[in-house]
Structure formats: structure tokens, C-alpha cells
Amino acid sequence: MAETLREAVATAARRRRLHMPGHFGRTPPGGEGLPWSLDWTEVEGLDNLADPRGVLKALAERAAAAFGAGRAWVSVQGATLPVLAGIVGVAPAGGRLVAERLAHRSVLAAALLADLDVDWLPARWDQDWGIALPTDPAAWAAHGPADVAVVTLPTYEGLAHPAAAVVAGARAAAPRVFVDAAHGSHWGRAPGLPPHVLAARPDFVAHGLHKTEPVLTQTGLLLARDGEADAERIAEWWRRLGTSSPSYPLLLSIERYIDARRRDAGGWDELCELARGVRAEAERQGFAVLQTEWERAGGVADPAKLTLFGHGPELARRLRAAGAEPEAVGLRWLTMVLGPAQDLTLADWRHLLANLGPPPPPPPLPELPPHPGPMRLSPRAADRARWRRVALREAAGLVAARAVTPYPPGIPVIMPGEEISAAAAAWLAHHVGAGLSVEGVEEGGLWVVA
Ligand SMILES: Cc1ncc(COP(=O)(O)O)c(C=O)c1O
């Protein structure tokens, strides 16, 4: 057996291809620059991701070793599959989840799939920036008991509380702690980065590899601290929810990353130093930097994220005029991503930042969403019930059938199964009236349980 997937692919390439995919490894006209020759299927020697016994099993074992985990599952469906299979595989039938309201929508999807009740911790907003902050570790004490606690660490903007306090807080609410670290796979690679979240001893960690590391988009990992617990049920759900046609270019990019991660810090030492310089330069130009403010308040922030305060759309316009594209734009902020593979120097960043300044004054922030109403049904019961659409002005007191999510920031104001409060209905009516985009509101109405 070949030791690595790369060797196994080289061996397979010596045989004539009488199998899928339909391009047979040849570049079709106009397809130059795409990885046709690396695109395979589960032929002899290339193993089966749904039931790995050869090179893909060895890859998962190297991935677990690279992160110090007991077991790893390799995903070509981003962090979404690790979140889904991890939560569904671990939660007992009819169980209860406790999760932060700023969780990615895959957490709600897991609750729907496994028919779990959810106890949501309300999002905590920064009133000035209009950004959801990590949940205070002490907030978990008012929630639970549940079967699984789902923590998002770090947030999209790279913010976190110290992981040990968060995991301890979540553990008091539920015996199993699942950390969605989609944005934190690089943590722990260099002394300047925050420690990897497994050091805080949660039970499971989900990563999206492509978000901050040089790995192809749609790659991810599920890590289990203990290699045995629930492993068979997770593996079964991985098979059920995973594609039966995994992408070998994605798998090869995961292999390259895992082997590199075991060897060295991948340039993150230098990146941490660069990030310090970039943040200081932004402040010198008069910008407030979210990550620096958060660290000054005692929090942990990712050097890979840079969020500047100001008129977001105007900052984005200036950045694009300077030939660069941001990661995300809000009303009062703009976020950019830094990484070792970017190959930008401090001088390059100075030049980019010079194009952004002086900070354009931000527009007023619309009132932030009110606290969620009580959960009257499980998300699944609300989803399976008969639905009807009602006008926003008639929605107060009814039970929502679908999530209602203003975008940005993409955090639901109402979840399926939740009683719609008068405050939430009024807040939504105001935002829809102001022309803001709200997923789940159509023609001025939203879906409720009939
Ligand atoms: C916190 C969090 N978890 C999970 C996901 C899902 O990751 P993916 O898009 O790789 O499936 C995302 C995506 O942005 C995310 O931000």
C-alpha cells in the first residue's frame, strides 16, 4: 500500500482510466488551470472516505496526531459536515442542546436532523461596532442542563474568551462540549497564536481548514479528544451525511496541509509579528481595531483578522479602488484576513491602509436585535408542523416555523420553535421598512406554525 494519498494517486495515474469522472483526467477545451489530472474516484489504492481503511485512514490518523487528538475525520464538505455529524452522532435521541445564538446555521441544521430541543444563549452585541461578541463564560451558568453544549470559538472576527474558561462554563451546562472552531485551525501553530482549543479539553472540535490556512475551499476536520467515545455513531453519520463522491484535489490539499503542520509553524511566527505591525499602523492612522480593543479588554484575538471601525461600505469602496478585496463589510466596520501565504509585507499593508484613511465616520447603528423569545417547540416540531404566513404586525405571540435572519450580520433574530416577541416583530418591521435584507421575511410576512 502507498503511504500517502499523493503516492497512491501517482500509482493510479499509470493505469488507463476506465472509470468516473467523465473527464478521465484530461483537460477539456477551456478547462486549463483546473486540477483535472488530480481528480479521481475510489479506484484500487485510493481508499474510500466513507469507510477508510488505506491511505485515507492513514491520513485521518496523521491529522489526529498533528492536532494531538484521539481521532480525526477528514471532510470535503467544509466545517458543515463536522458540525452536523459531530452533534447528531453525539446527542441522544430527543436530547437537548445548549448553544450560542451566534452559532453557524449548521448547528440549527443538526438540531433539526436529530430532533433536539435547543436552549439558546442570546448573542451579546457590541453596541458601538454592531458586532456579536463571544458569550461571556459566566453566561453558561444560567443555561442547561443539556446533553451537548456547542461553543463557537473563535468568532468570525477571530474573538474569543480564554478557552479554558469557556469550556469549563459550557461543561457546567452539559456533559459534552463541542467546539465549532471553523475559524481556528491555525491556532496553536506558533507561540504568537492563541493555543489550539483542544488544550482546553473539549470533547469535539470542528475545523474549516480553508478559512485561514492554505488548503482548498470546502475542506475541514472533526477532531475527537477521546478516540473511542461515540466514534462508531459519528462514523455512521459521516457516511449518511457525506457525499459518496469525495473530491481528491480537496483530499490532496488536506494531506499537504497535515504533513506541513506536523513539520513546522507554516510562517505563522512571522505572520504574528506582521499582524502586530499592521494593527499598530492602522491605529496610527486613527482607526480603532476590533481585535486590539478586545485584547486590551482581556480577551483573545486572532492575528489573522483585522477589523477596522468606520463607514464600512465607504471603506470597502476605497479598498477596492486600491485593487484589494475585503473579507466582509458591515455598516460600521470592514474585516480583512491576513495569512502567511498572502506574501504581503508591512510596507504593502502600509500602502493599503494609507488608501483607507482617514477613517470615514460610520453611519448610525440601527437598534440591535431584542432578546430572543421563549422556545415553545423544538426546531424540528416547528419545521414539521403546518406553516402559514402572517404579516409582521400580526406575528407577536405566534411560534416561528423558520429562522428569520437579517443579513448582515447573519445571526437569526427568531429561530424555528421560538415564540415571536412583540419587540422582535416591531424590530423586524422597522428593518424591513428601511429596506434591509432579512432572510425569512417574504412580502412583509414570515412563516409561523399554523
Ligand atoms: C463558525 C462557523 N462554523 C461553521 C461554518 C461552516 O463552514 P463551511 O462553510 O466550511 O462548511 C462556518 C462558515 O462560515 C462558520 O463561520
Task: Tell me the per-residue pLDDT of 304-327, one tens digit each, with 9 for 90 and over.
Answer: 999 999 999 999 999 999 999 999
Phi and psi torsions of 301, nearest 5°? -135, 145
pLDDT at 443: 87
Looking at 285-368, list the stretches that DSSP marks H as alpha helix, in order from N- to C-terminal side: 290-296, 312-321, 346-356
| C-beta of residue 120 within 8 angstroms of C-beta of residue 234 | no
CA diameter of the chain? 67
CA angle 228, 233, 234 (to 5 degrees): 80
> Does the beta carbon of 83 lie inside 6 Å of ligand 1?
yes
Expressed in angstroms and rounded, the spacing between residue 153 Cα and the centre of ligand 1 is 12
Q: By mean pLDDT, which of 189-198, 290-299, 322-331 is the weakest?
A: 322-331
pLDDT at 153: 98
Confidence of residue 434 (pLDDT cuts 50, 70, 90): confident
Confidence of residue 66 (pLDDT cuts 50, 70, 90): very high
Q: By mean pLDDT, which of 27-36, 83-92, 178-187 is the weakest?
A: 27-36
Confidence of residue 27 (pLDDT cuts 50, 70, 90): very high
Atom number in ligand 1 closest to CA 81: 11
For the cut 90, the answer to whether the pLDDT of residue 44 exceeds it is yes
Q: What is the mean pLDDT of the chain?
A: 95
Expressed in angstroms and rounded, the spacing between residue 417 Cα and the centre of ligand 1 is 23
| C-beta of residue 55 within 8 angstroms of C-beta of residue 248 | no
Expressed in angstroms and rounded, the spacing between residue 409 Cα and the centre of ligand 1 is 14
For the cut 90, the answer to whether the pLDDT of residue 376 exceeds it is yes
> SS3 for 80?
helix
Confidence of residue 56 (pLDDT cuts 50, 70, 90): very high
pLDDT at 368: 81
| C-beta of residue 169 within 8 angstroms of C-beta of residue 139 | yes
Please state whether beta strands 405-406 and 387-391 pair in parallel, antiparallel, or not at all (unpaired): unpaired
For the cut 90, the answer to whether the pLDDT of residue 424 exceeds it is yes
Q: Which residues of 91-125 are buried (b: 16+ CB within 10 A; e: fewer)?
A: beeebbbbbbbbbbebbbbbbbbbbbbbbbbbbeb
> Does the beta carbon of 80 lie inside 6 Å of ligand 1?
yes
Percent of the chain with pLDDT over 70: 100
pLDDT at 436: 80
> Does the beta carbon of 100 lie inside 6 Å of ligand 1?
no
For the cut 90, the answer to whether the pLDDT of residue 102 exceeds it is yes
| Partners of residue 446 on adjacent β-strands | 390, 441
For the cut 90, the answer to whether the pLDDT of residue 410 exceeds it is no
For the cut 80, the answer to whether the pLDDT of residue 431 exceeds it is yes
Atom number in ligand 1 closest to CA 218: 10
CA nearest neighbour of 84 among 180, 186, 19: 180
d(CA 314, CA 24): 47
Atom number in ligand 1 closest to CA 211: 10
Q: Fill in the amino acid letter for 440.
A: G
Task: Tell me the per-residue pLDDT of 270-289, one tens digit each, with 9 for 90 and over.
Answer: 999 999 999 999 999 999 99
Expressed in angstroms and rounded, the spacing between residue 24 Cα and the centre of ligand 1 is 32
d(CA 36, CA 252): 13
Q: Region 175-180: what's the mean pLDDT?
A: 98
pLDDT at 12: 94
For the cut 80, the answer to whether the pLDDT of residue 63 exceeds it is yes
Expressed in angstroms and rounded, the spacing between residue 80 Cα and the centre of ligand 1 is 6
pLDDT at 299: 98
> SS3 for 214?
coil
> Does the beta carbon of 42 lie inside 6 Å of ligand 1?
no
39 CB-near residues (< 8 Å, 6+ apart):
21, 23, 25, 247, 248, 249
pLDDT at 407: 78
Please state whether beta strands 204-208 and 220-224 pair in parallel, antiparallel, or not at all (unpaired): antiparallel
pLDDT at 228: 84
For the cut 80, the answer to whether the pLDDT of residue 408 exceeds it is no
Indicate whether this model's pTM tops 0.85: yes
> Does the beta carbon of 152 lie inside 6 Å of ligand 1?
yes
Atom number in ligand 1 closest to CA 78: 10
- Helix then strand then coil, % of the chain, to nearest 5: 35, 20, 45
> Does the beta carbon of 196 lie inside 6 Å of ligand 1?
no
Expressed in angstroms and rounded, the spacing between residue 370 Cα and the centre of ligand 1 is 25
Residue with cell 436530547: 95
For the cut 90, the answer to whether the pLDDT of residue 444 exceeds it is no
For the cut 90, the answer to whether the pLDDT of residue 365 exceeds it is no
